[in-house]
Amino acid sequence: MIKKLRKAVLPVAGLGTRFLPATKAMAKEMLPVVDKPLIQYAVEEARAAGIDQFCLITGRGKTALVEHFDIAYELERTLRDRGKSEALEVLRATQVEPGSMVAVRQQEPHGLGHAIWCARAFIGDDPFAILLPDDLVLSETPCLAQLAEAYYETGGNVVAVTEVPREHTNRYGILRIGHDDGRLVEVQGLVEKPLPADAPSNLSIIGRYILMPEVLRHLADMERGAGNEVQLTDGMAKLIGQQPFHGLRYEGRRFDCGDKIGFLEAQIAFALKRPEIAPAVREFLKQYC
Ligand code: G1P
C-alpha cells in the first residue's frame, strides 16, 4: 500500500552568506520574489501537492520564518479598521492551520543530511517531501505536485532532476542513470558534487525530493561526505537497490535564488507572470536591452 504524502520538511537553517549584507540580520528565505518571500512559495507549492504538515529546520536568527506563518493580530486589526480587504486576503494566505507547522533547530551546521535527520521525530514512519526554498520553479503544474504524481506511480523515492552544463556538476547531487523513458529515470547511483571529469552524468538534483523514512537510518550514521558535511545525497544513495528510486524530469524552469543572477532572473520571470504588473515590467525592460 502506498501511503499518502502529507509531510514536508523545509531546511532553512543556512546562513545565506552568498547574499550578504542583505542576510546579515534577515533570513535569506524571507527575501521576496516580486512580493512574496521564498519560504512562502515553498509552503504553497507543498500545499498544492496535498501536504498539510510542515516542519521548518531553523537555526538562530530565523524566528521571522515562524512568525511569517502565524496570525498577526495587530496588523489584521489595523487593516480591518481601515477597510483594506485586499491586504487582509493576502495576509490570510500566509496563515497555516493551527498545529500544522513545527520548527526544529539544527543546532550546528553539519550539512543538509544532518538537517533532515533533525526532523526525524516529525517524519516518523511516513514518506515525506523536502523543499529547498532557494530553488524556485516556475511551471504549469507545481513541481512538487509533479513529483507526488510520480511517487504514487512508483511507490518509492523520487527526486526532481534537470540537465546542467558539465562544468557545473560540482554544484549538485548527480545521478548515475539506469532505464530512462525521457520523463522518469531509474536512479542507479548518486554522487554529491562530483568534479566534471568524475560525474556519472550531467543530470542533477534540484531542491525537491520525496523520500521514504528509511533514509533517516542511514543519515543517523552521520558519515561525512563532500565538503566534510553529512550529505543527504549519500544517505539517499544507500536506499538504491532497496527501494524504488527515480529521477523525474519535471516540466518547468528552475531558478537558483541562492545566487544573485538566479535571484534577479526569478524576479523578472515571476513578475512577467503577474498580469497586474507584467505590461509595465515588459515596458521598462526595453530600456535595458
Ligand atoms: C543541495 C544538495 C544537492 C542538490 C542541491 C539542489 O546542495 O546537497 O545534492 O543538487 O541542493 O539545489 P546545496 O545547494 O545545499 O549545496
Asked if 40 and 94 count as a contact pair (C-beta separation under 8 A), the reply is yes
| Residue reference for cell 538504491 | 240
How do residues 122-142 score in pLDDT, each as one tens digit?
999 999 999 999 999 999 999
Give the chain's mean pLDDT. Answer: 96
pLDDT in the model for residue 78:
96
Q: How many angstroms separate the alpha carbon of residue 36 from the centre of ligand 1?
A: 23
Q: How far is CA 98 from CA 6, 133, 267, 282, in A?
A: 16, 22, 31, 41
Pocket test of ligand 1: the residue of 19, 110, 132 to mutate, having most ligand atoms within 8 Å of its CB, is 132
**pLDDT for residue 41 is more than 90:** yes
Query: What secondary structure letter does DSSP report for 48?
Result: H
| CB of residue 94 inside a 6 A radius of ligand 1 | no
| CB of residue 164 inside a 6 A radius of ligand 1 | no
| CB of residue 233 inside a 6 A radius of ligand 1 | yes
How do residues 13-32 score in pLDDT, each as one tens digit?
988 889 999 999 999 999 99
Q: Would you place residue 234 in the very low, low, confident or very high pLDDT band (cuts 50, 70, 90)?
A: very high
CA angle (108, 113, 114) in 5-degree steps = 25
The ligand 1 atom nearest the CA atom of 172: 10
Query: Residues 44-47: contacts with CB within 8 Å, 24+ apart?
Result: 44/93, 44/142, 45/131, 45/137, 45/142, 45/143, 45/144, 45/145, 46/8, 46/10, 46/129, 46/131, 46/144
| CB of residue 172 inside a 6 A radius of ligand 1 | yes
The residue-averaged pLDDT of 82-107 equals: 94
pLDDT in the model for residue 159:
98
Map out the domains of the chain as residue ranges.
7-285
Asked if 161 and 248 count as a contact pair (C-beta separation under 8 A), the reply is yes
How do residues 153-182 score in pLDDT, each as one tens digit?
999 999 999 999 999 999 999 999 999 999
| CB of residue 14 inside a 6 A radius of ligand 1 | no
Asked if 214 and 239 count as a contact pair (C-beta separation under 8 A), the reply is yes
Number of residues that make up the chain: 289
H-type helices in the chain, by residue range?
38-48, 63-68, 73-81, 85-92, 112-117, 120-123, 143-154, 215-219, 232-237, 260-271, 278-286
Q: C-alpha grid cell for residue 145?
A: 505536485
pLDDT in the model for residue 15:
87
| CB of residue 135 inside a 6 A radius of ligand 1 | yes
Q: C-alpha grid cell for residue 74?
A: 495587530
CATH code for the structural domain at 7-285: 3.90.550.10
Give residue 75's identity as a one-letter amino acid code.
L
Q: Are strands 184-192 and 173-180 parallel, antiparallel or unpaired?
A: antiparallel
pTM value?
0.96
Q: C-alpha grid cell for residue 262?
A: 538566479
**pLDDT for residue 56 is more than 90:** yes
Q: How many angstroms separate the alpha carbon of residue 113 from the centre of ligand 1?
A: 10
**pLDDT for residue 289 is more than 90:** no
| CA 103/CA 69 separation, integer angstroms | 11
The Cβ-side half-sphere exposure at 154, using a 13 Å CA radius, reads 25
Pocket test of ligand 1: the residue of 38, 110, 117, 205 to mutate, having most ligand atoms within 8 Å of its CB, is 205
Q: Nearest C-alpha to atom 10 of ligand 1 is from which residue?
A: 172
Q: How many angstroms separate the alpha carbon of residue 114 from the centre of ligand 1?
A: 13
**pLDDT for residue 247 is more than 90:** yes
| CB of residue 204 inside a 6 A radius of ligand 1 | yes
Number of neighbours of residue 177 by Cβ within 10 angstroms: 16
Q: Would you place residue 39 in the very low, low, confident or very high pLDDT band (cuts 50, 70, 90)?
A: very high
Q: C-alpha grid cell for residue 215?
A: 533514509
pLDDT in the model for residue 112:
97
**pLDDT for residue 146 is more than 90:** yes
